[in-house]
Structure 1
Amino acid sequence: MSALFQIACASNSDAILAANLAASPCLANGVPLHVERNAPSAAIAYNRALDATQSEIVVFAHHDVFLPKGWDALLHARLAELTRHCPDWALAGAFGIGADYRQFGPVWTSSLGQIIGRVPSQPEPVISFDEMLIVLRRSSGLRFDDSQPGWHMYGTDIVCRARSAGKGAFAIGLPCIHNDRFHGALGPDFTESYRWMQAKWPQYLPIQTPVTKISRSGLHLMRERWNMRKSLALRETDAVDTAAPAPDLARRCGWADLTASVG
């Protein structure tokens, strides 16, 4: 079972990796983990990982993601369902945004201190992914865009690439823990990624992402920054310390063992 996919990660912290992704039970069950370090961008890191691996299914996950017990079996079941639903699928993800702006998960996020995203009753097509976890089908021929700067919005770009190739991207219900640190504001690197996406995909605008809407005017980015400033104190209160053990967070979410979800 485990040989059918492997996990790829870009990491700059052995401590974060060891406490989260590398602690996922599926790795002890034989799922391979490939780690890329010192890449100049997420796209370059992930394309390097594609070149260095061979599995048909590659799971790109952040180093602060924890996959609960039984997650590997659940992935196989969900992908089998997705293949029946859409034989030519290219991408799947743990958290995505539908064309009608519905959010599909469910995932735990420590930065918000809650489970986010509704549970899809079937594979749901999406127009963007949170980058925390993206599943890519190698035979789709998709790759990330090496020219994309930085570490933001590559989950939206890869979905746009799938759309332009006539292939599907879906949220499929893969509960997991994103033990991410609190973000007080959006930095200039986020603005750079936003402008890059505006220029690259005008035919698909507006695109709702997990953070903000990419629009022609860019006013939504300004609005999001304003909203984040206004909500800073409340969001700081809601956030959970990333020192909380990831298995404990999974247990509190009811995801200590996902084996029962298979079927």
Structure 2
Amino acid sequence: MSSPSIAFVCASNNPRILAENLLRSPAIASGAYPLEVIENAASATQAYNLGLDRTKADIIVFLHHDVYLPLGWDDLLRQRIAEVEAVDPNWALLGAFGIAMDSRAYGPVWSSSIDFIAGLMPLAPVPVQSFDELLFVLRRASGLRFDAGLTGWHMYGTDIVCQARAKGLGAYSVALPLIHNDGYKETLDANFEAAFRYMARKWSNMLPLKTPVVKITRSARDLYKWRWNLWRSRKQRRAQAAPDARDPRDYARACGWMDLRPSLSAYAAERVSDRNTS
């Protein structure tokens, strides 16, 4: 079976952030994969549908412009795809950070906004109810597209998972270590509440839905509670955050993620040994 073709799609409104993070990623800098950068789009769903139409690749990676992918990340992605296909040939989505059906968070990803590695390590693909939008992967054959009615820049990682679940297609968290150089955020814009209410109406039969940020329910109680906690913790969060102006490779080095290829080699050797002793 031939290896699937892969393309990357990124929505960006800041050339500096793009250049200092995503474009430094070895897989992107090498030119080995197509990269569609959609600039200054009105919404994430508009940008990503346009990116989906501009590439014909079998696998499309949607990611933020402040993400850095360590050396060997693309090979690791191919390995994760093979692992998922071994248990679910009809999969639709993979994500680097997701919320499982039991509400546990799976990564691992490093974020400068919190200055630590977030998410449990999935030892096998974990079915999820939502993704963080920093990076997720779509299999074109799934036929999924982004809901143009979801305006702004929030909740589309949860919506696309709900679409997959409604069609009986698999969405999984898998281990794809990366650096999210997102920096401190005081709060989220006004479109966040609009996205919350849109999702609560659209997916009322699936509620409650736990996202990486807030639990979506029929009432807005959890939204207001989250907003209050965000405001109350702002000084602590500001002090905790790492500088996003720093080279993401420094953070990758500190995490032990500068080169993911040795771990791939070790994994392959273990699988051979397991087969020989079984």
Match for residue 4 of structure 1?
A: 5
Give the 3 Å change call, closer, same or farther, for CA 3–92 of structure 1 in structure 2: closer
After alignment, is 120-129 or 20-29 more displaced? Answer: 20-29
Aligned match of 1:49: 51
Name the SS of the counterpart of 2:93 in structure 1. strand
Counterpart in the other structure of 1:86: 88
The aligned counterpart of 1:24 is: 25
1:3 positional shift: 7.4
Aligned to 1:242: 244
Q: Deviation string for 1:132-184 (max 9, x for gaps)?
A: 00100000000111111100000000000001111010001100000002111
Contact 1:3 1:31 in 2 (8 A): no
Partner of 2:15: 14
* Aligned 8 A contact 1:74 1:261 in 2: no
Contact 1:2 1:72 in 2 (8 A): no
In the alignment, the residues of structure 2 paired with residue 114 and residue 25 of structure 1 have an alpha-carbon distance, to the nearest angstrom, of 23
Name the CA distance, whole Å, in 2 between partners of 1:171 and 1:3: 19
Gaps of 5+ in 2: 268-278
Q: Is the 8 A contact 2:4 2:59 kept in 1?
A: no
Could you tell me whether the CA contact under 8 Å between 2:23 and 2:29 is conserved in 1? Answer: no
**C-alpha distance 3-126 of structure 1, shift in aligned 2 (>3 A):** closer
Q: Distance in 2 between matches of 1:162 and 1:112?
A: 30
What is the deviation of 1:2? 9.0
Residues of 1 paired with 2:191 and 2:147: CA distance? 17
TM-score by length of 1: 0.97
Q: Distance in 2 between matches of 1:4 and 1:246?
A: 27
In structure 1, the partner of 2:272 is: none
> RMSD in angstroms over aligned alpha carbons?
1.2
TM-score normalized with structure 2 length: 0.92
Aligned to 2:138: 136
- 1:174 & 1:137 partners in 2: Cα distance? 16
Which structure: larger Rg?
2
Match of 1:199 in 2: 201
Question: Is 1:120 the equivalent of 2:146?
Answer: no
1:162 paired with 2:159, answer: no
Aligned length: 263
Percent of matched pairs sharing the same residue: 51
Sort the Cα spacing of 1:238 and 1:15 in 2 relative to 1 into closer, same or farther, 3 A: same
Following superposition, which runs of at least 4 residues in structure 1 exceed 6 angstroms of deviation? none
| Paired AA for residue 11 in structure 2 | A
Q: Distance in 1 between matches of 2:14 and 2:187?
A: 22
Kindly state the Cα deviation for residue 261 of structure 1 after the two structures are TM-superposed.
Answer: 2.4
Aligned to 1:102: 104
Deviations, residues 208-257 of structure 1 (Å, cap 9, x unaligned):
00000001111100110111112111111110111110111101011011
User: Is contact 1:2-1:31 (8 Å) kept?
Assistant: no
Residue 251 of structure 1 corresponds to 253
